[in-house]
Chain A
Protein backbone atom coordinates (compact mmCIF):
# COMPACT_ATOMS: atom_id res chain seq x y z
CA UNK A 1 0.00 0.00 0.00
CA UNK A 2 3.03 2.20 0.03
CA UNK A 3 4.30 4.53 -2.60
CA UNK A 4 7.28 2.97 -4.30
CA UNK A 5 9.17 2.73 -7.58
CA UNK A 6 6.00 1.57 -9.33
CA UNK A 7 5.05 5.23 -9.42
CA UNK A 8 8.01 6.01 -11.64
CA UNK A 9 7.27 3.12 -13.94
CA UNK A 10 3.65 4.17 -14.26
CA UNK A 11 4.58 7.77 -14.88
CA UNK A 12 6.88 6.75 -17.72
CA UNK A 13 4.24 4.40 -19.15
CA UNK A 14 1.63 7.16 -18.93
CA UNK A 15 3.88 9.64 -20.73
CA UNK A 16 4.71 7.15 -23.46
CA UNK A 17 1.06 6.22 -23.98
CA UNK A 18 -0.04 9.83 -24.19
CA UNK A 19 2.78 10.65 -26.58
CA UNK A 20 1.96 7.67 -28.79
CA UNK A 21 -1.72 8.57 -28.75
CA UNK A 22 -0.91 12.16 -29.63
CA UNK A 23 1.34 11.22 -32.54
CA UNK A 24 -0.10 8.02 -33.95
CA UNK A 25 -3.75 7.74 -32.94
CA UNK A 26 -5.40 11.11 -32.65
CA UNK A 27 -4.37 12.80 -35.92
CA UNK A 28 -5.38 10.02 -38.36
CA UNK A 29 -8.68 9.46 -36.56
CA UNK A 30 -9.38 13.17 -36.52
CA UNK A 31 -8.49 13.45 -40.20
CA UNK A 32 -10.74 10.54 -41.12
CA UNK A 33 -13.67 11.91 -39.13
CA UNK A 34 -13.27 15.43 -40.43
CA UNK A 35 -12.97 14.12 -43.98
CA UNK A 36 -16.15 12.15 -43.60
CA UNK A 37 -17.93 15.11 -42.04
CA UNK A 38 -16.93 17.17 -45.04
CA UNK A 39 -18.09 14.48 -47.45
CA UNK A 40 -21.42 14.20 -45.67
CA UNK A 41 -21.85 17.95 -45.55
CA UNK A 42 -21.08 18.16 -49.27
CA UNK A 43 -23.51 15.37 -49.99
CA UNK A 44 -26.25 17.02 -47.97
CA UNK A 45 -25.61 20.35 -49.68
CA UNK A 46 -25.71 18.66 -53.07
CA UNK A 47 -28.95 16.92 -52.16
CA UNK A 48 -30.47 20.17 -51.03
CA UNK A 49 -29.34 21.88 -54.20
CA UNK A 50 -30.79 19.10 -56.32
CA UNK A 51 -34.07 19.34 -54.46
CA UNK A 52 -34.18 23.06 -55.05
CA UNK A 53 -33.35 22.51 -58.72
CA UNK A 54 -36.10 19.95 -58.98
CA UNK A 55 -38.56 22.35 -57.38
CA UNK A 56 -37.52 25.06 -59.80
CA UNK A 57 -37.82 22.71 -62.75
CA UNK A 58 -41.25 21.60 -61.60
CA UNK A 59 -42.37 25.19 -61.25
CA UNK A 60 -41.02 25.91 -64.72
CA UNK A 61 -42.74 22.86 -66.16
CA UNK A 62 -46.09 23.75 -64.65
CA UNK A 63 -45.74 27.31 -65.85
CA UNK A 64 -44.89 26.16 -69.35
CA UNK A 65 -47.78 23.75 -69.24
CA UNK A 66 -50.09 26.56 -68.27
CA UNK A 67 -48.68 28.74 -71.05
CA UNK A 68 -49.12 25.96 -73.55
CA UNK A 69 -52.69 25.41 -72.42
CA UNK A 70 -53.60 29.07 -72.74
CA UNK A 71 -51.87 29.19 -76.09
CA UNK A 72 -53.74 26.14 -77.29
CA UNK A 73 -57.00 27.64 -76.10
CA UNK A 74 -56.17 30.85 -77.89
CA UNK A 75 -55.32 29.02 -81.08
CA UNK A 76 -58.54 27.04 -80.93
CA UNK A 77 -60.49 30.21 -80.30
CA UNK A 78 -58.80 31.90 -83.22
CA UNK A 79 -59.41 28.92 -85.43
CA UNK A 80 -63.09 28.92 -84.49
CA UNK A 81 -63.30 32.60 -85.16
CA UNK A 82 -61.53 32.19 -88.45
CA UNK A 83 -63.82 29.32 -89.41
CA UNK A 84 -66.89 31.36 -88.58
CA UNK A 85 -65.48 34.24 -90.51
CA UNK A 86 -64.76 32.00 -93.48
CA UNK A 87 -68.23 30.55 -93.41
CA UNK A 88 -69.71 34.04 -93.19
CA UNK A 89 -67.52 35.27 -96.02
CA UNK A 90 -68.35 32.31 -98.18
CA UNK A 91 -72.02 32.71 -97.51
CA UNK A 92 -71.75 36.37 -98.32
CA UNK A 93 -69.84 35.64 -101.47
CA UNK A 94 -72.33 32.99 -102.49
CA UNK A 95 -75.16 35.38 -101.95
CA UNK A 96 -73.54 38.13 -103.93
CA UNK A 97 -72.54 35.67 -106.68
CA UNK A 98 -76.07 34.50 -106.90
CA UNK A 99 -77.35 38.02 -107.02
CA UNK A 100 -74.83 38.85 -109.69
CA UNK A 101 -75.68 35.79 -111.75
CA UNK A 102 -79.36 36.51 -111.39
CA UNK A 103 -78.84 40.13 -112.32
CA UNK A 104 -76.74 39.10 -115.30
CA UNK A 105 -79.40 36.67 -116.38
CA UNK A 106 -82.01 39.36 -116.04
CA UNK A 107 -79.88 41.78 -118.06
CA UNK A 108 -79.23 39.17 -120.72
CA UNK A 109 -82.89 38.35 -120.91
CA UNK A 110 -83.68 42.01 -121.15
CA UNK A 111 -81.09 42.54 -123.89
CA UNK A 112 -82.34 39.54 -125.83
CA UNK A 113 -85.84 40.79 -125.45
CA UNK A 114 -84.86 44.20 -126.75
CA UNK A 115 -82.90 42.70 -129.59
CA UNK A 116 -85.78 40.42 -130.54
CA UNK A 117 -88.15 43.36 -130.28
CA UNK A 118 -85.89 45.41 -132.58
CA UNK A 119 -85.56 42.55 -134.99
CA UNK A 120 -89.26 42.05 -134.93
CA UNK A 121 -89.87 45.71 -135.46
CA UNK A 122 -87.43 45.80 -138.31
CA UNK A 123 -88.95 42.75 -139.86
CA UNK A 124 -92.43 44.17 -139.38
CA UNK A 125 -91.27 47.43 -140.91
CA UNK A 126 -89.54 45.76 -143.82
CA UNK A 127 -92.58 43.48 -144.16
CA UNK A 128 -94.76 46.55 -144.14
CA UNK A 129 -92.52 48.20 -146.64
CA UNK A 130 -92.45 45.10 -148.81
CA UNK A 131 -96.21 44.97 -148.48
CA UNK A 132 -96.55 48.62 -149.19
CA UNK A 133 -94.04 48.34 -152.04
CA UNK A 134 -95.97 45.61 -153.60
CA UNK A 135 -99.15 47.62 -153.16
CA UNK A 136 -97.59 50.80 -154.39
CA UNK A 137 -95.42 49.28 -157.12
CA UNK A 138 -98.33 49.52 -159.23
CA UNK A 139 -99.10 53.08 -158.43
CA UNK A 140 -96.21 55.04 -157.03
CA UNK A 141 -92.48 55.21 -157.52
CA UNK A 142 -90.92 53.32 -154.64
CA UNK A 143 -88.08 55.81 -154.40
CA UNK A 144 -90.30 58.74 -153.79
CA UNK A 145 -92.01 57.21 -150.78
CA UNK A 146 -88.90 55.73 -149.11
CA UNK A 147 -88.35 58.66 -146.80
CA UNK A 148 -91.87 58.40 -145.49
CA UNK A 149 -91.26 54.68 -144.70
CA UNK A 150 -88.02 55.42 -142.91
CA UNK A 151 -89.68 58.06 -140.82
CA UNK A 152 -92.26 55.49 -139.89
CA UNK A 153 -89.63 52.97 -138.90
CA UNK A 154 -87.93 55.47 -136.58
CA UNK A 155 -91.19 56.19 -134.90
CA UNK A 156 -91.77 52.52 -134.11
Chain B
Protein backbone atom coordinates (compact mmCIF):
# COMPACT_ATOMS: atom_id res chain seq x y z
CA UNK B 1 0.00 0.00 0.00
CA UNK B 2 1.12 3.50 -0.63
CA UNK B 3 2.31 4.88 2.69
CA UNK B 4 0.88 8.35 2.38
CA UNK B 5 -2.70 7.06 2.78
CA UNK B 6 -4.51 6.07 5.89
CA UNK B 7 -6.04 2.64 5.62
CA UNK B 8 -9.54 4.04 5.14
CA UNK B 9 -8.38 6.43 2.46
CA UNK B 10 -6.44 3.65 0.78
CA UNK B 11 -9.46 1.35 0.62
CA UNK B 12 -11.72 4.13 -0.50
CA UNK B 13 -9.27 5.15 -3.20
CA UNK B 14 -9.05 1.63 -4.54
CA UNK B 15 -12.81 1.25 -4.62
CA UNK B 16 -13.50 4.45 -6.49
CA UNK B 17 -13.94 4.50 -10.23
CA UNK B 18 -12.26 6.94 -12.53
CA UNK B 19 -15.07 9.25 -13.57
CA UNK B 20 -15.51 11.49 -16.51
CA UNK B 21 -18.25 13.98 -17.28
CA UNK B 22 -18.81 17.03 -19.34
CA UNK B 23 -19.66 20.26 -17.56
CA UNK B 24 -19.81 23.87 -18.64
CA UNK B 25 -16.01 23.96 -18.44
CA UNK B 26 -15.72 21.06 -20.88
CA UNK B 27 -14.79 17.49 -20.07
CA UNK B 28 -13.67 17.07 -16.46
CA UNK B 29 -12.61 14.13 -14.34
CA UNK B 30 -13.16 12.55 -10.96
CA UNK B 31 -13.84 14.98 -8.08
CA UNK B 32 -15.11 17.59 -10.47
CA UNK B 33 -17.87 15.19 -11.44
CA UNK B 34 -19.34 14.89 -7.94
CA UNK B 35 -22.43 16.91 -8.90
CA UNK B 36 -22.86 15.70 -12.46
CA UNK B 37 -25.70 13.31 -11.60
CA UNK B 38 -26.47 10.60 -14.10
CA UNK B 39 -24.21 11.66 -16.95
CA UNK B 40 -20.98 10.39 -15.49
CA UNK B 41 -18.86 7.86 -17.29
CA UNK B 42 -16.69 5.37 -15.43
CA UNK B 43 -13.80 5.46 -17.85
CA UNK B 44 -11.85 2.68 -16.11
CA UNK B 45 -14.80 0.30 -16.18
CA UNK B 46 -15.58 1.19 -19.77
CA UNK B 47 -11.96 1.02 -20.86
CA UNK B 48 -11.12 -2.30 -19.23
CA UNK B 49 -14.37 -4.01 -20.12
CA UNK B 50 -14.33 -2.90 -23.74
CA UNK B 51 -10.64 -3.69 -24.01
CA UNK B 52 -11.17 -7.19 -22.61
CA UNK B 53 -14.23 -7.67 -24.80
CA UNK B 54 -12.18 -6.73 -27.83
CA UNK B 55 -9.43 -9.08 -26.70
CA UNK B 56 -11.97 -11.90 -26.49
CA UNK B 57 -13.41 -11.09 -29.89
CA UNK B 58 -9.96 -10.66 -31.43
CA UNK B 59 -8.72 -14.04 -30.19
CA UNK B 60 -11.87 -15.89 -31.09
CA UNK B 61 -12.26 -14.15 -34.43
CA UNK B 62 -8.67 -14.85 -35.44
CA UNK B 63 -9.16 -18.50 -34.54
CA UNK B 64 -12.50 -18.63 -36.32
CA UNK B 65 -11.00 -17.11 -39.45
CA UNK B 66 -8.18 -19.60 -39.67
CA UNK B 67 -10.02 -22.55 -38.16
CA UNK B 68 -8.98 -25.70 -39.91
CA UNK B 69 -11.21 -28.72 -40.05
CA UNK B 70 -8.12 -30.88 -39.80
CA UNK B 71 -5.72 -31.09 -36.88
CA UNK B 72 -6.22 -27.91 -34.81
CA UNK B 73 -3.36 -25.83 -33.45
CA UNK B 74 -2.98 -25.28 -29.73
CA UNK B 75 -4.78 -21.94 -29.66
CA UNK B 76 -7.60 -23.34 -31.77
CA UNK B 77 -7.84 -26.38 -29.52
CA UNK B 78 -8.05 -24.10 -26.48
CA UNK B 79 -10.73 -21.94 -28.08
CA UNK B 80 -12.61 -25.03 -29.14
CA UNK B 81 -12.57 -26.41 -25.60
CA UNK B 82 -14.26 -23.24 -24.34
CA UNK B 83 -16.57 -23.24 -27.34
CA UNK B 84 -17.57 -26.83 -26.81
CA UNK B 85 -18.05 -26.29 -23.08
CA UNK B 86 -20.48 -23.42 -23.73
CA UNK B 87 -22.16 -25.22 -26.59
CA UNK B 88 -22.82 -28.37 -24.58
CA UNK B 89 -24.22 -26.32 -21.71
CA UNK B 90 -26.53 -24.43 -24.05
CA UNK B 91 -27.65 -27.62 -25.77
CA UNK B 92 -28.40 -29.39 -22.52
CA UNK B 93 -30.47 -26.51 -21.16
CA UNK B 94 -31.98 -24.66 -24.08
CA UNK B 95 -34.02 -26.94 -26.32
CA UNK B 96 -35.39 -24.47 -28.81
CA UNK B 97 -33.64 -23.29 -31.92
CA UNK B 98 -31.94 -19.95 -31.66
CA UNK B 99 -28.97 -18.41 -33.38
CA UNK B 100 -28.53 -15.94 -30.58
CA UNK B 101 -28.45 -17.93 -27.34
CA UNK B 102 -25.23 -19.82 -27.88
CA UNK B 103 -23.10 -16.85 -29.03
CA UNK B 104 -24.67 -14.82 -26.24
CA UNK B 105 -23.67 -17.44 -23.70
CA UNK B 106 -20.16 -17.61 -25.13
CA UNK B 107 -19.76 -13.85 -25.04
CA UNK B 108 -21.03 -13.63 -21.47
CA UNK B 109 -18.89 -16.49 -20.24
CA UNK B 110 -15.59 -15.43 -21.75
CA UNK B 111 -16.08 -11.71 -21.30
CA UNK B 112 -17.16 -11.98 -17.66
CA UNK B 113 -14.38 -14.46 -17.00
CA UNK B 114 -11.77 -12.11 -18.45
CA UNK B 115 -13.14 -9.20 -16.44
CA UNK B 116 -13.23 -11.34 -13.29
CA UNK B 117 -9.64 -12.43 -13.86
CA UNK B 118 -8.60 -8.80 -13.50
CA UNK B 119 -9.27 -9.50 -9.83
CA UNK B 120 -6.09 -11.57 -9.69
CA UNK B 121 -3.92 -8.67 -10.80
CA UNK B 122 -2.26 -7.37 -7.62
CA UNK B 123 -4.46 -4.56 -6.35
CA UNK B 124 -1.80 -1.83 -6.29
CA UNK B 125 -0.18 -2.24 -9.67
CA UNK B 126 -2.76 -0.71 -11.96
CA UNK B 127 -3.76 2.20 -9.67
CA UNK B 128 -0.06 2.93 -9.17
CA UNK B 129 0.66 2.99 -12.90
CA UNK B 130 -2.41 5.11 -13.46
CA UNK B 131 -1.32 7.47 -10.67
CA UNK B 132 2.14 7.84 -12.17
CA UNK B 133 0.77 8.44 -15.64
CA UNK B 134 -1.65 11.00 -14.18
CA UNK B 135 1.02 12.70 -12.14
CA UNK B 136 3.87 12.84 -14.64
CA UNK B 137 1.86 12.78 -17.86
CA UNK B 138 -0.90 15.19 -17.06
CA UNK B 139 0.32 16.93 -13.89
CA UNK B 140 -2.60 15.69 -11.80
CA UNK B 141 -2.63 14.98 -8.08
CA UNK B 142 -2.05 11.17 -7.92
CA UNK B 143 -4.64 11.00 -5.11
CA UNK B 144 -7.17 12.21 -7.60
CA UNK B 145 -6.35 9.53 -10.16
CA UNK B 146 -8.53 6.47 -9.76
CA UNK B 147 -8.26 3.09 -11.37
CA UNK B 148 -10.67 0.32 -10.44
CA UNK B 149 -9.48 -2.33 -12.80
CA UNK B 150 -12.08 -5.07 -12.19
CA UNK B 151 -15.06 -4.02 -14.31
CA UNK B 152 -17.36 -6.59 -12.69
CA UNK B 153 -17.03 -4.74 -9.36
CA UNK B 154 -18.90 -1.88 -10.97
CA UNK B 155 -22.66 -2.08 -10.59
CA UNK B 156 -23.09 -0.30 -13.91
CA UNK B 157 -21.46 -3.14 -15.76
CA UNK B 158 -23.29 -5.96 -14.02
CA UNK B 159 -26.57 -4.13 -14.41
CA UNK B 160 -25.84 -3.49 -18.07
CA UNK B 161 -25.31 -7.22 -18.62
CA UNK B 162 -28.42 -8.12 -16.63
CA UNK B 163 -30.45 -5.50 -18.42
CA UNK B 164 -29.34 -6.89 -21.76
CA UNK B 165 -30.43 -10.36 -20.64
CA UNK B 166 -33.70 -8.92 -19.29
CA UNK B 167 -34.48 -7.28 -22.64
CA UNK B 168 -33.86 -10.62 -24.32
CA UNK B 169 -36.12 -12.37 -21.78
CA UNK B 170 -38.92 -9.93 -22.63
CA UNK B 171 -38.21 -10.22 -26.35
CA UNK B 172 -38.27 -14.02 -26.36
CA UNK B 173 -41.30 -14.19 -24.06
CA UNK B 174 -43.31 -12.02 -26.44
CA UNK B 175 -41.88 -13.62 -29.55
CA UNK B 176 -42.59 -17.19 -28.47
CA UNK B 177 -45.88 -16.73 -26.59
CA UNK B 178 -47.26 -13.65 -28.23
CA UNK B 179 -48.12 -10.53 -26.31
CA UNK B 180 -51.35 -12.11 -25.07
CA UNK B 181 -49.61 -15.28 -23.98
CA UNK B 182 -47.00 -13.31 -22.07
CA UNK B 183 -49.65 -11.20 -20.37
CA UNK B 184 -51.55 -14.35 -19.50
CA UNK B 185 -48.43 -15.84 -18.02
CA UNK B 186 -48.03 -12.77 -15.84
CA UNK B 187 -51.64 -12.66 -14.67
CA UNK B 188 -53.06 -16.21 -14.70
CA UNK B 189 -50.35 -17.89 -12.65
CA UNK B 190 -50.04 -19.39 -10.16
CA UNK B 191 -53.78 -19.01 -9.34
CA UNK B 192 -55.78 -19.56 -12.47
CA UNK B 193 -58.81 -17.45 -11.60
CA UNK B 194 -59.80 -13.93 -12.73
CA UNK B 195 -60.17 -12.79 -9.14
CA UNK B 196 -56.50 -13.43 -8.50
CA UNK B 197 -55.20 -11.36 -11.40
CA UNK B 198 -53.71 -8.58 -9.22
CA UNK B 199 -52.10 -11.07 -6.83
CA UNK B 200 -50.76 -13.11 -9.72
CA UNK B 201 -49.44 -10.02 -11.42
CA UNK B 202 -47.56 -8.90 -8.36
CA UNK B 203 -46.10 -12.37 -7.79
CA UNK B 204 -45.10 -12.88 -11.38
CA UNK B 205 -43.69 -9.39 -11.78
CA UNK B 206 -41.49 -9.93 -8.77
CA UNK B 207 -40.36 -13.27 -10.23
CA UNK B 208 -39.63 -11.64 -13.55
CA UNK B 209 -37.81 -8.65 -12.12
CA UNK B 210 -35.88 -10.72 -9.60
CA UNK B 211 -34.09 -12.47 -12.43
CA UNK B 212 -32.01 -9.59 -13.82
CA UNK B 213 -31.69 -8.08 -10.37
CA UNK B 214 -30.25 -11.26 -8.89
CA UNK B 215 -28.00 -11.76 -11.92
CA UNK B 216 -26.53 -8.29 -11.56
CA UNK B 217 -26.26 -8.27 -7.78
CA UNK B 218 -24.81 -11.76 -7.52
CA UNK B 219 -21.93 -11.01 -9.85
CA UNK B 220 -21.36 -7.57 -8.40
CA UNK B 221 -21.57 -8.75 -4.80
CA UNK B 222 -19.17 -11.64 -5.23
CA UNK B 223 -16.58 -9.67 -7.12
CA UNK B 224 -16.88 -6.56 -4.99
CA UNK B 225 -16.47 -8.59 -1.81
CA UNK B 226 -13.48 -10.50 -3.11
CA UNK B 227 -11.85 -7.31 -4.39
CA UNK B 228 -12.48 -5.68 -1.03
CA UNK B 229 -10.81 -8.56 0.76
CA UNK B 230 -7.86 -8.41 -1.63
CA UNK B 231 -7.52 -4.74 -0.72
CA UNK B 232 -7.88 -5.47 2.99
CA UNK B 233 -5.22 -8.15 2.76
CA UNK B 234 -2.99 -5.62 1.02
CA UNK B 235 -3.21 -3.33 4.07
CA UNK B 236 -1.69 -5.73 6.60
CA UNK B 237 1.95 -5.54 5.66
CA UNK B 238 4.16 -8.59 5.18
CA UNK B 239 1.58 -11.06 6.48
CA UNK B 240 -0.35 -10.39 3.29
CA UNK B 241 1.92 -12.69 1.27
CA UNK B 242 0.56 -16.11 2.39
CA UNK B 243 -2.93 -14.69 2.84
CA UNK B 244 -2.93 -13.16 -0.58
CA UNK B 245 -1.72 -16.41 -2.06
CA UNK B 246 -4.51 -18.39 -0.38
CA UNK B 247 -7.18 -15.88 -1.35
CA UNK B 248 -5.93 -15.71 -4.94
CA UNK B 249 -5.77 -19.49 -5.21
CA UNK B 250 -9.32 -19.68 -3.94
CA UNK B 251 -10.35 -17.21 -6.63
CA UNK B 252 -9.00 -19.38 -9.37
CA UNK B 253 -12.12 -21.37 -8.50
CA UNK B 254 -14.49 -18.52 -7.72
CA UNK B 255 -13.90 -16.31 -10.74
CA UNK B 256 -14.67 -18.89 -13.43
CA UNK B 257 -17.55 -20.13 -11.29
CA UNK B 258 -19.15 -16.69 -11.22
CA UNK B 259 -18.74 -16.36 -14.97
CA UNK B 260 -20.23 -19.80 -15.40
CA UNK B 261 -23.16 -19.05 -13.09
CA UNK B 262 -23.95 -15.87 -14.98
CA UNK B 263 -23.88 -17.70 -18.29
CA UNK B 264 -25.87 -20.67 -17.04
CA UNK B 265 -28.60 -18.54 -15.46
CA UNK B 266 -28.85 -16.50 -18.64
CA UNK B 267 -29.45 -19.68 -20.62
CA UNK B 268 -31.95 -20.96 -18.06
CA UNK B 269 -33.90 -17.67 -18.00
CA UNK B 270 -34.02 -17.52 -21.77
CA UNK B 271 -35.10 -21.12 -22.07
CA UNK B 272 -37.86 -20.41 -19.53
CA UNK B 273 -38.87 -17.42 -21.62
CA UNK B 274 -39.13 -19.62 -24.69
CA UNK B 275 -41.08 -22.38 -23.00
CA UNK B 276 -44.78 -22.65 -23.58
CA UNK B 277 -46.90 -23.75 -20.67
By a beta-carbon cutoff of 8 Å, the part of chain A in contact with chain B is 1-11, 13-15, 17-18, 20-22, 24-26, 28-33, 35-36, 39
Known: A11-B160, A14-B164, A29-B64. A5 touches B79 (CB 8 A): no
A1 to B, closest residue via Cβ: B155
- Interchain residue pairs with CB less than 8 A apart (22): A4-B41, A4-B156, A6-B42, A6-B154, A7-B159, A7-B160, A10-B45, A10-B157, A11-B160, A13-B50, A14-B107, A17-B57, A18-B100, A21-B103, A24-B57, A24-B64, A25-B57, A25-B61, A29-B63, A29-B64, A32-B69, A39-B69
Instruction: Tell me the total A-B contact number using a CB cutoff of 8 A.
Output: 118
Q: Kindly list the 6 A-B residue pairs having the minimum CB-CB distance in the complex, ordered from nearest.
A: A10-B160, A32-B67, A6-B156, A35-B69, A22-B103, A28-B64
B99 close to A14 (CB less than 8 A): no
B161 touches A (CB below 8 Å): yes
What CA separation (Å) do A94 and B45 show in the bound complex? Answer: 122
Residues of B within 8 A of A5 (CB): 38-41
Q: Within the assembled complex, what's the spacing in Å between the Cα atoms of A24 and B62? A: 10
Contact A4:B40 (CB < 8 A) given known A11-B163, A18-B107, A29-B79: yes
Give the docked Cα–Cα distance between A55 and B64 (Å): 42
- Set of chain B residues within 8 Å of A4, measured between Cβ atoms: 37-42, 156
Contact B157 A6 (CB under 8 A): yes
Residue numbers in B under 8 Å from A18 (CB-CB): 100, 103-104, 107, 164
**Inter-chain contact B161/A10, CB cutoff 8 Å:** yes
Tell me whether A29 and B39 are in contact (CB under 8 A): no
* Chain A residues positioned under 8 Å from B46 (CB to CB): 6, 9-10, 13
Q: Which residue of B lies closest to A20 (CB)?
A: B57
Are B163 and A29 interface neighbours, CB within 8 A? no
Q: Are A36 and B39 in contact (CB under 8 A)?
A: no
By a CB distance below 8 angstroms, the chain B residues around A30 are: 83, 87
B69 and A6: CB pair below 8 A? no
**6 new A-B contacts at CB < 8 Å, known A13-B46, A21-B106:** A6-B160, A18-B103, A22-B104, A25-B106, A29-B64, A36-B72
Partner of B65, one of A17, A28, A36: A28
Q: Which of B35-79 contact A (CB under 8 A)?
A: 37-42, 45-46, 49-50, 53, 56-57, 60-61, 63-65, 67-70, 72, 79
Chain A residues with Cβ below 8 Å from B103 are 18, 21-22, 25-26
CA distance A73 to B83 in the complex (A): 66
